[in-house]
Amino acid sequence: MSTAAVLDRAVPVTRRRRGGWSWLRGVAITVVTLVFALPVVWMFAAAFKTNVQVTDPTVGLVFPPTLENFANVLADGAILPAMGNSLLVGVVSTVLSAVLAVPAAWAVGRFGMRSTGSLVLVARIVPAISLLVPWYYLFAQAGLVGSYTVLVLSHMFVSVPLILWIMISFFEGLPVELEEAARVDGLSAFGAFLRIALPLAAPGTATAAVLAFVASWNNFMFALVLADENTETVPVALFSFISYASTDWGGLMAASALMTVPVVVVALLAQKHIVAGLTAGATKG
Amino acid sequence: MRFSRRRFGTLVAATAGTAALGSALGACSTPPVTRDTPLRMLAVNHVWTQAIRKLLPEFEERIGRKVSVSMLTADQLASSYNVKLNASATDIDVMMVRALQEQGLFAHNGWLADLTPRIQGDPDFAWDDVQPAPREASTVAGKVLSVPVVTERSVLYYRKDLGPPPSTLDELRERALQLTDRQKGFFGFVGRGQRSGAVTQWSSFLYSLGGDFVTDGRSRIGSPEAIAAYQYYGELLGKAGPPGATNMSLEQAMPIFAQAKAAFYVDADAIYSNFLDPKVSIVQDTVGFAPFPAGPAGSRPYNIPSWSVGINRFSRLQDDAWQFVRWASSRETVEKIQAAGIPGARTSVWADDKSLATFPAELAASMRVNAENGVGHDRPKVLQVGRARDIIGRPLVAGILGQDVPPVARDADAELTDFLVRDNRHQGI
């Protein structure tokens, strides 16, 4: 039997095997998708239900929809300013964190400053709640509590280590020869970073920035303690739908749906970069 | 890791820099108090808070200062207080607190200003006009630390279309079991069943069956009366209640009655408006309100100050904060707020029929009866209330699940006894 014939016979065997397992793969994907998607689907469905329908388990996904919840949320006037606050704090804290953390990640990656990187990671290891009392004390003394400054600074505490550690492995994955060639051509070390490494690291920076923005957008604890009624962010504002003796489920779900949309849009727009960024550096060496 | 001289120097410099920054921030003076500084109130998101906000302009005009109200959920409020007051926060002036839940701990930490001299020096405030049970709950070690503004009693919600309300606990159980039809998804009774969350509502059953949580500093949850109350409530909710009752708190139990899927429901009277609102209820025409059914010890529901207002000890606007507390709990304000359907703590206002005119007549009558028979606490009066509720709730869950209650209750009794020794030590008793 020729080699070609053997290969021809081998193909169906492989296919059979793959076909044998593919149904399991399909089931697994379906189950995982359902588990993750169901709460989101429920949230969006509930946003279009009346409160009576939301709490009635017999009303599933087929019901006469209402836009009343969205109208109430928008008329309430608390969510839109809170979204503006979240956007401002998220963008500023992410940009400032990137300005600090991306060059730092390059330095840590290129010059083997792993212990310095580990020191920064301590910020992610220490429970945030344990930092809130001293922070609150210091910022209150400085008269900053309730300002955007304090929210941006506190969110940077989360974002800087996140961006730094994503970018370290990214820079380590870039060929050092490119920067060495740039140095030979007369660029300084920082110039090589700025003109060579940074443009090549754009997908990684996009990934890190999106993840940092999402972390800031969803952060609840810092805003709860450090913001005031003028600077409160969306996660805190959402709780205005939960009162002592009742919960406006329809309003809460409509506001949650509104809160989710910007993050989904950012994630979709940056998806290409995120995938490239997350996989870059994985095959270094 | 090799610790070179250079690295050591960097570390020292970084530490020194952080310390210097901290000191610099710490040394910054807190902004001075001016006429533009608002009086800040941290409050729970409650109908009372929403009502008082509407009345604020008249108060602001009187003191010449704006009032800023931040509303949070009860748990977030407690967390905020814990973080901010641990740092001696000055940006909270008026605090909305639960006299029976966290006031003891706050008093222990020295976070609430002593209102006694202000109350004693102000006969027009008429402290004696506040109902005795809420007044007692506001006092810790002889000091008045808060003034009650919202009171609650447990009430029996029932379906008028299914017959008159039961007047005794035995009748309630019998009727609830009769009306239960699990095939049709209809339940004779619904109530809170969550381990900690159910304790407050169960307290009315406990008192009416002759028991209490703690007497003379000793645990009483292993007493025959408490075991009878555990067994009664367990049977009622376990056999006549919906499945998954042990996961139910207010948020889960209330909609079941509002959806016309239960015949009887025992919970706080403060939530009655949920059943009259067509947006959340389909029983607005059939819901009835009755006094808590009597047990062997009579009808003994709780009658508690669910929310009170106090003053942050670190506030720099103590006088204005007292003016707010005085105004918000004055007879005139309570009259207006109670007339809007939010029950207060002033005896004179309760005596005035006009203040109850907005409540359904049957509810107003039930509230009066429950207030007269009421016990001033719905949870044990300890420092760490959450921990105590967890212990007390264990036999409650066992009862609902149909387990043998006496051994679990005796075990919980021993645990609560140990807990009380430690808690009393913290309280300095």
Q: Give the pLDDT confidence of A29-78 residue by residue, as tens digits.
A: 999 999 999 989 999 999 999 888 887 777 777 888 889 999 988 887 88
Crossing angle for the helix pair A79-111 and A148-173, nearest 10 degrees? 40
- CB burial string B223-259: b at 16+ within 10 A, e below: bebbbbbbbbbbbbbbbbbbeebbebebbbbbbbbbb
B375 or A116: which leads in pLDDT: B375
Predicted pLDDT at B12: 52
> What is the overall mean pLDDT for chain B?
90
Q: Roughly what angle, to the nearest 10 degrees, separates helices B385-400 and B224-240?
A: 60
pLDDT category, A285, cuts 50, 70, 90? very low
Calculate mean pLDDT across residues A101-113.
88
Do residues A218 and A235 lie in contact, with contact meaning Cβ atoms separated by under 8 Å?
Answer: yes
Instruction: Map residue A187 onto helix, strand or coil.
Output: coil
Q: What pLDDT score does A20 carry?
A: 66
User: Quick check: B405 pLDDT over 90?
Assistant: yes
Q: Which of B155, B280, B281, B307 to mutate: most A Cβ within 10 Å?
A: B280
**Adjacent-strand bridge partners of B305:** B151
The model's pLDDT over B157-181, given as tens digits with 9 standing for 90+, comes to: 999 999 999 999 999 999 999 999 9
Q: What is the pLDDT of residues B313-334, one digit of tens each?
A: 999 999 999 999 999 999 999 9
Nearest chain A Cα distance for residue B171, angstroms: 28
End-to-end CA distance of chain A: 42
pLDDT band at B226 (very low <50, low <70, confident <90, very high): very high
A50 contact partners, CB below 8 Å, separation of at least 6: A66, A68, A250, B279
**Nearest C-alpha of chain A: how many angstroms from B129?**
26
Mean pLDDT computed over B237-253: 92
Q: How sure is the predictor about A282, in pLDDT bands with cuts at 50, 70 and 90? A: very low
List the single range of A120-134, A141-155, A167-181, B210-224 with lowest mean pLDDT.
Answer: A120-134
pLDDT at position B10 is: 57
Examine the pLDDT at B152 and tell me if it is beyond 90.
yes
- Give the pLDDT confidence of B5-29 residue by residue, as tens digits: 555 555 555 555 555 555 555 445 5
State the CB neighbour count (10 A cutoff) for residue A14.
9
Q: Is the pLDDT of residue A246 over 80?
A: no
Over residues B34-59, the pLDDT tens digits come to: 888 899 999 998 989 999 999 999 99
B271: contact with A, CB 8 A cutoff: yes
CA distance B346 to B149: 9
Domains of chain B, CATH where assigned: 14-151+304-373 (3.40.190.10), 152-302+377-427 (3.40.190.10)
ipTM greater than 0.90: no
| Per-residue pLDDT, A280 | 55
Q: Is B403 on the interface with A (CB under 8 A)?
A: no
Q: Does A71 reach chain B within 8 Å, measured CB to CB?
A: no
Q: Do A243 and B87 touch (CB under 8 A)?
A: no
Nearest CB to A51; choose among B72, B250, B280: B280
Position B272 scores a pLDDT of 92
pLDDT at B128: 94
- A130 contact B CB<8A: no
A69 at interface of B, judged by CB pairs closer than 8 A: no
Q: Do B193 and B241 meet the contact criterion of CB atoms below 8 Å apart?
A: yes
Q: How confident is the model at residue A263 (pLDDT cuts 50, 70, 90)?
A: confident
pLDDT-based confidence at A187, cuts 50/70/90? confident
For residue B68, the chain A residues in CB contact (below 8 A) are 228-229
What pLDDT score does B30 carry?
Answer: 63
CA angle B53, B76, B379 (to 5 degrees): 95
Chain position carrying tokens 């679990």: B408
Q: Mean pLDDT over residues A266-279, rounded?
A: 69
pLDDT at B262 over 90: yes
Distance CA B398, CA B327 (A): 46
When CB atoms are compared, the residue of B27, B47, B83 closest to A225 is B83
pLDDT of A284 reads 47
| pLDDT at residue B429, rounded to an integer | 42
A43 touching B (Cβ < 8 Å)? no
**CB contact, 8 Å: B255 with chain A?**
yes
pLDDT confidence band for B1 (50 / 70 / 90): very low
pTM of the predicted protein model: 0.80
pLDDT of residue A17: 54
Q: Answer whether A245 sits within 8 Å of B28, measured CB to CB.
A: no
Q: Which of residues 37-96 of B touch A (CB under 8 A)?
A: 44-47, 68-74, 76, 79-80, 83-84, 86-91
Smallest Cα distance from B90 to chain A, Å: 8
In this structure, of B24-33, B179-188, B211-220, B330-339, the range with the lowest mean pLDDT score is: B24-33
Give the residue, B370 or A113, on which the prediction is more confident: B370
Q: What is the 3-state secondary structure (H, E, C) of chain B?
A: CCCCHHHHHHHHHHHHHHHHHHHHHHHCCCCCCCCCCCEEEEEECCHHHHHHHHHHHHHHHHHCCCEEEEEECHHHHHHHHHHHHHCCCCCCCEEEECCCCCHHHHHHHCCECCCHHHHHCCHHHCHHHECHHHHHHCEECCEECCEEEEEEEEEEEEEHHHCCCCCEHHHHHHHHHHHCEHHHCEEEEECCCCCCCCHHHHHHHHHHCCCCCEECCEECCCCHHHHHHHHHHHHHHHHHCCCCHHHCCHHHHHHHHHCCCEEEEEEEHHHCHHHHCCCCCCCCCCEEEECCCEECCECCCEEEEEEEEEEECCCCCHHHHHHHHHHHCCHHHHHHHHHCCCCCCEHHHHHCHHHHCCCCHHHHHHHHHHHHHCECCCCCCCCCHHHHHHHHHHHHHHHHCCCCHHHHHHHHHHHHHHHHHHHHHHHCC
pLDDT at residue A185, rounded to an integer: 87
Task: Give the one of A52, A145, A224 whose C-beta lies nearest to B280's C-beta.
Answer: A52
Query: Best interface-test mutation with B: which of A115, A141, A253 has the largest number of B CBs within 10 A?
Result: A141
**Band of pLDDT at residue A180, cut at 50, 70 and 90:** confident
Query: Phi/psi zone of residue B216: left (φ > 0), alpha (ψ -120 to 50 degrees), beta?
Result: left
- pLDDT given at position B260: 93
Flag whether pLDDT at B382 surpasses 80: yes
